[in-house]
Structure 1
Amino acid sequence: MADTEIEQKPHAPVAISTIPENPTVGEVESEAASKKLKDAKKAKVSSDKPKKNLVQGFTNFFYNPRMKTVFGRSSLNWAKLAAFYTVFYFCLGCFFVGLLYIFAFSLNEHEPRYYNEESTMAIRTTATVVGMGFRPQPRVDDNLIVVSNDPDQQARIASSLRLYRDVYLVQGNDAKTENCTAEEPASELPESTACLFNWFHIVNTDNHPCSDNNMYGFKKEQPCVLVKLNKVYGWTPLAGHLPENIQELRGIRTQESRGSRTKKTGPVSDVYITCDGTNPADRDVLNDIVYYSLDKPSGSTKYGAIPNYYFPYRNARDHVQPFVLVQFKNLPIDRLISVTCKVWAPNIEHDTRAMRGMTSFQLYRTHPNEKSDNNDD
């Protein structure tokens, strides 16, 4: 049998695929960790981008090198803005000064435009509000006056009253003053002229109980308290019915006629000042009070009086407001006493809540030196 040739056809290429081996647990975890790291980097880049843009925005707001601007404005823009506001505020200032000058030119240097019943002082009342004050007052926010046997404490409280006297109650030799009398009252004085009156018209000797030598009474634990009226321009006591208590103290009796509240007749009243305990318990221990005033510089146990011809106050530079010195004797030890002083005149009203026509302070007498001695024993 003859050999037969067998024609072999070329075989088509066969795709060989490799079957991967089963992955281990470590490889799976490594691949997951790598994916998380890539995600974290992408998140960080995306979060840092707004911060960078914000910082860049602030930097460009302060100064933009590309636009050559500061705070969003160029140098020319800033120059125009500065020129505008310079002119604007200059014109505004001139307008304000002009109005202020016109207002000041229309005012009187010595007399206010509205005062007494025409001013707000007469709101809700038929009379001008007259206030009072007292000295010494070492602390402006406290009305306590301590009376002590301690020499240092006595010197401190006396220095407070001395300072007030030297500043407000003394008239210099060059003061523009004239004597005021019933025939020539303060209302008849020339403009800028004050009545001749100062501290030494009442405390006229070195032996006076309220003199410097006696430390205004504190040296003997009998303090002298200065009680005064506040300065109210144009106010003067009027003629009319005196209060009942003043009539009793003066030993006189007047009848108030019908309609006398609207029509005042008779002589003009003086101004009277009295002091007493605020509460009944305080009145029981305040039984020895002496008043030193223009009416009686030597002292009175009934009241202090200021003559009516020392009013009104006219805004004179050298004016000293008339006052009364009230001396309290025989004060009890270690007892706080509340004192209320009132001013009396026909056209003065009292209001305890608003402290109109009155003033109030407290007295406290103590002996700290004796207490310290007892503690040492």
Structure 2
Amino acid sequence: MATKLNEDRATKVEEFQFHVIPKRTTWENFQNAVYDPDKQEFFGRTKRSWYQLLIFYGIFYTCLAALFAICTRGLLATLDDRAPKWQLETSLIGTNPGLGFRPISSETREGSLIWYNLKNACTTSKWVNLLDEFLLPYRVKQIGRNYRSCDFDEELGDGYVCVVDVDSFGPCTSGNNYGYNSTSPCVFLKLNKIFGWVPTYYTKGQEGMPSDLKETIENEAKDNRTAVWISCEGENPVDKERIGGFNYYPGRGFPGYYYPYVNTENYLSPLIAVQIMNVEPNAIVNIECRAWAGNINYSGSDKNREGSVHFEILVDDPRVT
């Protein structure tokens, strides 16, 4: 009997009491996840835990915002609203201004080609509209405020800018369709602005200059020779034969009193209107215009062009075969 009792005790197993998950509906589970009344938890945290978390992140982001404000203030203290920190040789732009031309097509595939048909008003109005848009800032009345009519005899004071007279472009006007109703169209040239750049002027003819430019310089009064001179010509012998010459308005150079550019309010870059005379119809003509100054490097390479600009003109005339 004792042996049987011992065997019964040996085979008796105590059952472990596992946690029983209460049976709840989906809605009850959601409510319990938002607020657990048994543990007094809201989204899995007690009030104390939420307060500690909010205080920590409040202090953290306040310090982060203060650090950002200090760094931003320090950066802005090194900047000037009008003058860049890095200028000329120390800037990415450098000291060699590029020469640009207008009109230029907004269609990238057209490149630097100016093409129009004398019998198709749509093709001519395209270029007229582009030039009208380009010259719009120059048509604002440049009177009063800080505008001055400049000349070579008077130095421009600080805070003033020189007027660019749109009435000085000869036949290159909107009323004359800028010549795009004829075989003598106009293009406008301008130098890119570089802060603080001052040209080194050629006051006499230089080696490599076209003979007509040398003559122009020699015929100018000595006090009026402080200019960045411009020359345009056909790129190749056949191109030269297809052009009847060039006329420049208001003159052959960008006057020195427009320089340096120092980001003065209302400043406008000087322009030169170049009328290309009697372009041979129905043939592409390659033209290069070059800026002349002692500190403007020149390269006529298509891959690395400097101090010059290249464009093509094609005037179609169905009357000419």
1:132 aligned partner = 99
- Structure 1: segments with no counterpart, 5+ residues: 1-59, 123-127, 255-265, 296-303
Q: Offset of 1:98 from its aligned partner?
A: 2.7
The residue type paired with residue 165 of structure 2 is: N
CA RMSD of aligned residues (A): 3.5
Matched, 1:196 2:163: yes
Q: Secondary structure of the equivalent of 2:175? A: coil
Q: Offset of 1:154 from its aligned partner?
A: 1.7
Q: Secondary structure of the equivalent of 2:286? A: strand
Question: 1:63-142 to 2 correspondence within 5 Å?
Answer: 68=33, 74=44, 84-85=56-57, 87-122=59-94, 128-139=95-106, 141=108, 142=111
Q: Is the CA contact 1:197–1:320 (under 8 Å) kept in the aligned structure 2? A: yes
Distance change (3 Å), C-alpha of 1:331 and 1:251: closer
Q: Secondary structure of the equivalent of 1:117? A: helix
The residue type paired with residue 233 of structure 1 is: F
Identity, % of aligned positions = 26
Distance change (3 Å), C-alpha of 1:65 and 1:167: same
Q: Secondary structure of the equivalent of 1:286? A: coil
TM-score, normalization: structure 1?
Answer: 0.62
Distance change (3 Å), C-alpha of 1:75 and 1:271: same
Among candidates 176, 184, 187, match of residue 214 of structure 1: 176
Q: What is the number of residues matched between the two proteins?
A: 275
Among candidates 243, 263, 283, match of residue 206 of structure 2: 243
Q: Secondary structure of the equivalent of 2:229? A: strand
Matched, 1:231 2:193: yes
Bigger Cα Rg: 1
Greater alpha carbon shift after TM alignment, 242-251 vs 76-85: 76-85
Greater alpha carbon shift after TM alignment, 86-95 vs 342-351: 86-95
Q: Is the CA contact 1:169–1:320 (under 8 Å) kept in the aligned structure 2? A: no
Greater alpha carbon shift after TM alignment, 309-318 vs 281-290: 281-290
1:350 aligned partner = 298
- Structure 2: segments with no counterpart, 5+ residues: 1-25, 36-42
1:184 aligned partner = 154
Distance change (3 Å), C-alpha of 1:66 and 1:213: closer
Q: Offset of 1:324 from its aligned partner?
A: 0.9
The residue type paired with residue 145 of structure 1 is: I
Question: 1:1-377 to 2 correspondence within 5 Å?
Answer: 68=33, 74=44, 84-85=56-57, 87-122=59-94, 128-139=95-106, 141=108, 142-149=111-118, 150-168=120-138, 170-186=140-156, 189-191=157-159, 193-200=160-167, 202-203=168-169, 208-239=170-201, 242-246=205-209, 248-249=211-212, 250-251=214-215, 269-293=226-250, 295=251, 304-351=252-299, 352=301, 353-367=303-317
Q: Distance in 2 between matches of 1:91 and 1:308?
A: 53
Distance change (3 Å), C-alpha of 1:274 and 1:170: farther
Q: Is the CA contact 2:186–2:274 (under 8 Å) kept in the aligned structure 1? A: yes
Q: Is the CA contact 1:147–1:221 (under 8 Å) kept in the aligned structure 2? A: no
The residue type paired with residue 243 of structure 1 is: Q
Q: Distance in 2 between matches of 1:171 and 1:90?
A: 51
The residue type paired with residue 147 of structure 1 is: Y
Q: Secondary structure of the equivalent of 1:220? A: coil
1:260 aligned partner = none
Q: Offset of 1:290 from its aligned partner?
A: 1.4
1:275-300 CA-to-partner distances (Å, cap 9, x unmatched) read 1223343233233221113x3xxxxx
Distance change (3 Å), C-alpha of 1:290 and 1:268: closer
Q: Secondary structure of the equivalent of 1:335? A: coil
Q: Offset of 1:66 from its aligned partner?
A: 10
Q: Is the CA contact 1:336–1:364 (under 8 Å) kept in the aligned structure 2? A: yes
